[in-house]
Amino acid sequence: MKKTVSSLKAMKQKEKIVMITAYDALFANLFRDADILLVGDSLNMSFGGAKDTLSASLEQMIYHTKAVCNGAPDTFVVCDMPFGTYTDEQIALQNCIKVYQETNAGAVKIEGGVEKAHIIKALTTNSIAVMGHIGLMPQFVRSEGGYKIKGKDEANIAKLILDAKAIEEAGAFAIVIEGVKPEAAKAITQAVQIPTIGIGAGSDTDGQVLVWSDMFGLNTEFKPKFVRTYLDGATLFQNGLKEYMKNVKDGSFPDENEVY
């Protein structure tokens, strides 16, 4: 059965939430059994080849979210709001309404803590479901001078808890916690009533998310410590291509059964 905001919230402390990224209809369909499909702006890096997520546009995210919703109509889909599309309440409302009107996404995701709570509130009070995102926030890579692991000391853990509580108070239904020490993720998870979904944050969150091309071994140049590789996708595809090339070159493809 398709998950909803309330059924996802009810999973906290009962069943771990499985979220995986998806960017197109083909793979969304293959991943349709996950609890949540995230159309992450990570697509700008993993599939667009860019060095960060900042140049992802709203139009791109809408295009990919539509495709994912088409491929997995019975799975809950979250559209990542790209950099610069939620700088104030009015802009965020305008852009998130566009996402809701043009796609079947069940929610949007927004990076930021206390400072973004008023924006989350403006969205949730206008019937837009919001997933928060705290800790290492890829859209802050340039302002922070790199991807920095968070929650390394008591003061920072306290700040992250304040962020999570502000997001919860603003009406978000879940929070992604990225790139934080496991003890910080645990403390945040215990401090809020809504589910937390971790990436590089240890096992004490209410769910996990990974970027699909990382976990299925397609990205041979990027292998962070937190990623478990479930498949040697690169080798599978490269072997497939090798075989196809061989068959075309030697004339064995197509054969008499592969023609009209």
Residue 80 to residues 87, 91, 123, 159, 244: CA-CA distances in angstroms? 14, 15, 14, 23, 36
* Residue 42 touches ligand KIV, criterion: CB under 6 A: yes
Answer for the pair 200, 226: CB distance below 8 angstroms, yes or no. Answer: yes
Residue ranges of E strands in the chain: 17-21, 36-39, 76-80, 107-111, 130-135, 174-178, 196-199, 207-210
Minimum separation from the CB atom of position 167 to ligand KIV (A): 15
Q: Which CB atom, from 37 or from 128, has the smaller least distance to ligand KIV? A: 37
Question: 194-223 mask for ligand KIV (x: CB under 6 A)?
Answer: -----x---------x-x------------
As a whole number of angstroms, the distance between CA 115 and CA 170 comes to: 11
Question: 141-170 mask for ligand KIV (x: CB under 6 A)?
Answer: ------------------------------
Q: Which CB atom, from 110 or from 260, has the smaller least distance to ligand KIV? A: 110
Q: Is 178 a catalytic residue?
A: yes
As a whole number of angstroms, the distance between CA 123 and CA 255 comes to: 57
Stretch that binds ligand KIV, among 6-14, 38-46, 183-191, 232-240 (CB under 6 A): 38-46
Sign of CA dihedral 84, 89, 95, 100: positive
Catalytic residue positions?
178
Q: Which residues bind ligand KIV (CB under 6 A)?
A: 21, 38, 40-42, 80, 176, 178, 199, 209, 211
